[in-house]
Amino acid sequence: TDGAQLPVLVIGSGYGGAVAALRLAQAGQNVAIVEKGMSWTTAGSDGKIFCNMLSPDGRSYWLRTTTDQPVSYFMGASYNKSISSYTGVLDSEHFSQIRIYQGRGIGGGSLVNGGMAVTPKQQYFGSILPSVDPAEMYNTYYPRANAGLRVNNVDQTWFESASCYQFARVGRKTAQASGFTTTFVPNVYDFNYMKQELANTAPRSALNAEVIYGNNYGKNSLDKTYLADAMATGKVTITPQHVVTSVAPAAGTGYTVTMNQIDTSGNTVATKTVTAQKVFFAAGSVGTSKLLVTQKATGKLPNLPSTVGTGWGNNGNVMVARQNQAWDATGSLQSCIPVMGIDNWADTGGPAFAEISPFPAGIETFASLYLAITQNPNRGTFSYNSGTGGVDLNWQQAWNGVGIAAAKRIFDPINAKQATVYRTDLFGSNKVWGDDFAYHPLGGCVLNQSTDNYGRLQSYPGLYVIDGSLIPGCTTVNPFVTITALAERNIENIIANDFK
């Protein structure tokens, strides 16, 4: 409520925000979370909370009148659809040369992501977070994160015969035929539930083309795990549909935080100001970076370091599809939850980890789709634009050439061995590479550069960053387990030292 005096305010309810809220509440603190997106708990007129990918409606996208699908062409023609403008669950946020996909709602990215819960190999950890002790991460914080997220593994015997994973088995077979290593990938989707979906004993979600616009069943998103545990303490409130716009030192102690309450059309219906003694930025890599560069440039937090807004990377994301031979059908029923990756990170000529992705068209396409994570060293910078009052990101599409080159080290040999070709009709007309969007934004307020080694914004005691913006651009695998584990590490130190 307007004028409230709060001990702790958390901005955003994704991984970082959820970890902070739970651990602070368990330490006895009262915590208020504000979240820009909706509380996804009420069914629509079709009886479902979320729509699926085959018939998207307003619930799919954040304030768009047409869908903006990652794979947005088929046979070279756009197959985006008209939708009503609504504060939907998936945001495709456009910067000049990149679209960045993000979740919107209580649970952040966990509402829309593929649930792939990957702990990076320890040998690569030094390249991910060089100032963090790997031993404590692998002994304590990664296990804690995996437990809190309720990570589980697919039953490998079931996998071998499940029709919904034929696409993954074809992806594995064609990769192994060219000498590549494949690996099963853990997930937060409940695989026992998925078995029931396939057996037709439970309503289908992953097997009903649900994932990037939300899962109605089966997925242990943060609202079912960390945030549910946080609410159960009785010390946490979560207020949806509130967009934080400014943070500045208060007249006495603490910080004045201004926010707009919005309706489902995105219109401001009220502006509120609260005072919080401690504020955690957990608005995600893009959201936190935008807030911080704006506060610095507009004089609200002028003493933030000049590195704020720098060090942004796309986790090397590029997407590509191959067309398989007629004897390698990928299946008309595909689980939207990926369970397998091609691990070529040891290739020093161009490391890549490629997730074998579903392509849930509802028909046989013979296509294999992949999301590659690569070691792209390019880094973008967010900057405040005084003309528009918005924030720009200077990322260049051409910078993805590094990622494409690394992905080709996997897929050119597979195509050669299989006598197959890349699809050229899915990312545009005659366009092989999905190189103009990212699923894994990372960085913008890098640990031990813009903050201390635990996320404190040192020029402003009581301000903290605790989300993907702390990670400098690449995690070698899908990022949310690392974001969660780092948040677990940092909040433990912050509680011990700053909440005495």
Point out which residues bind ligand FDA (CB under 6 A): 11-16, 34-37, 101-104, 108-109, 112-116, 212, 243-244, 282-285, 287, 291, 439-440, 467-468, 478-480, 483
Polymer length in residues for the chain: 500
CA-CA distances (angstroms) from residue 144 to 41, 149, 298, 484? 27, 9, 39, 9
DSSP-assigned states of every residue in 305-367? -TTTT--BB-TT-EEEEEEPPTT----SS--SS--EEEE-TT-TTS-EEEEEE----SS---E
d(CA 50, CA 173): 34
Three-state DSSP state, 277: strand
d(CA 291, CA 47): 36
> Between residues 161 and 273, which has the closer beta carbon with respect to ligand FDA?
273
> Between residues 170 and 474, which has the closer beta carbon with respect to ligand FDA?
474
355, 364, 488, 492: which is the annotated catalytic residue? 355
Three-state DSSP state, 74: strand
> Between residues 88 and 108, which has the closer beta carbon with respect to ligand FDA?
108
> Between residues 57 and 328, which has the closer beta carbon with respect to ligand FDA?
57
DSSP-assigned states of every residue in 223-269? GGTHHHHHHHTT-EEEE-SEEEEEEEE-SSSSEEEEEEEE-TTS-EE
> Between residues 184 and 424, which has the closer beta carbon with respect to ligand FDA?
184
> Between residues 107 and 420, which has the closer beta carbon with respect to ligand FDA?
107
Tracing tokens 């060090």 back to the chain, one arrives at 311
Q: Is 242 a catalytic residue?
A: no
Beta carbon of residue 312, minimum distance to ligand FDA (angstroms, whole number): 12
CA-CA distances (angstroms) from residue 32 to 1, 56, 242, 409, 496? 11, 33, 12, 47, 20
Beta carbon of residue 278, minimum distance to ligand FDA (angstroms, whole number): 16
Q: If residue 184 lies in a helix (H) or strand (E), which one and from where to where?
A: strand 182-184
> Between residues 221 and 344, which has the closer beta carbon with respect to ligand FDA?
221
210, 242, 440, 492: which is the annotated catalytic residue? 440
Q: If residue 273 lies in a helix (H) or strand (E), which one and from where to where?
A: strand 268-281
d(CA 166, CA 43): 32
Q: What are 226's two structure tokens?
A: 């960390």
Beta carbon of residue 222, minimum distance to ligand FDA (angstroms, whole number): 8
d(CA 228, CA 111): 14
Is the Cβ–Cβ distance between 146 and 481 less than 8 Å?
A: yes
Is the Cβ–Cβ distance between 465 and 288 less than 8 Å?
A: yes
Beta carbon of residue 390, minimum distance to ligand FDA (angstroms, whole number): 13
Q: Is 94 a catalytic residue?
A: no
Tracing tokens 């077979």 back to the chain, one arrives at 173
Beta carbon of residue 39, minimum distance to ligand FDA (angstroms, whole number): 11
Beta carbon of residue 52, minimum distance to ligand FDA (angstroms, whole number): 14
Beta carbon of residue 149, minimum distance to ligand FDA (angstroms, whole number): 10
Active site residues: 355, 440
